[in-house]
Amino acid sequence: MIVAGFGFRAQARPESLRDALAQACQGRRVTQLATAQDKAATATFATFARAETLPARAIPPEALCAQTTATCSARVLAERGTGSVAEAAALAAAGPGARLLGPRVFSSDRMASCALAMQDHQGQDT
């Protein structure tokens, strides 16, 4: 299972998320999308997730804060308690033992970021 986690600005459009996903995937097949709970409720994320026809998870703040991210934005850390919403969402959605496939990448317009996480434990509930 590979989860694509997203962080994005309020001004982001679904195209920004699509671009960030394309840059992060590099030929990998994503099976699930994830973002922070409040961001999952936005029209931008809902429109994007519908178009991708993949299951989407809304990650609560406490689950985001529990993740160790590869990158750290001081602003995001101060606002969200995690270094990267994209990385933390991907890790939280992938479940215990998940690992990042690389650091977050940004859309061309810098409005969205995407990180991929993979669950290595086959057959376990996440």
Buried b (16+ CB within 10 A) or exposed e, 27-43: eeebebbbbbeebbeee
Handedness of CA 15, 71, 31, 33 (dihedral sign): negative
Residue with tokens 């690389």: 102
Can you give the pLDDT at residue 122? 53
pLDDT for 59-107, tens place per residue?
A: 999 999 999 999 999 999 899 999 999 999 999 999 999 999 999 999 9
- What is the maximal distance between C-alpha atoms in the chain? 39
pLDDT for 26-56, tens place per residue?
A: 889 999 999 999 999 999 999 999 999 999 9
Structure tokens that stand for 93 in this block? 């959605």
Can you give the pLDDT at residue 7? 97
Measure Cα distances from 8 to 55, 75, 76 in Å: 18, 13, 11
The whole-angstrom separation of Cα 77 and Cα 2 is: 25
- Cβ pair 116, 25 in contact under 8 A: yes
pTM here is 0.91
Q: Are strands 56-59 and 99-100 parallel, antiparallel or unpaired?
A: unpaired
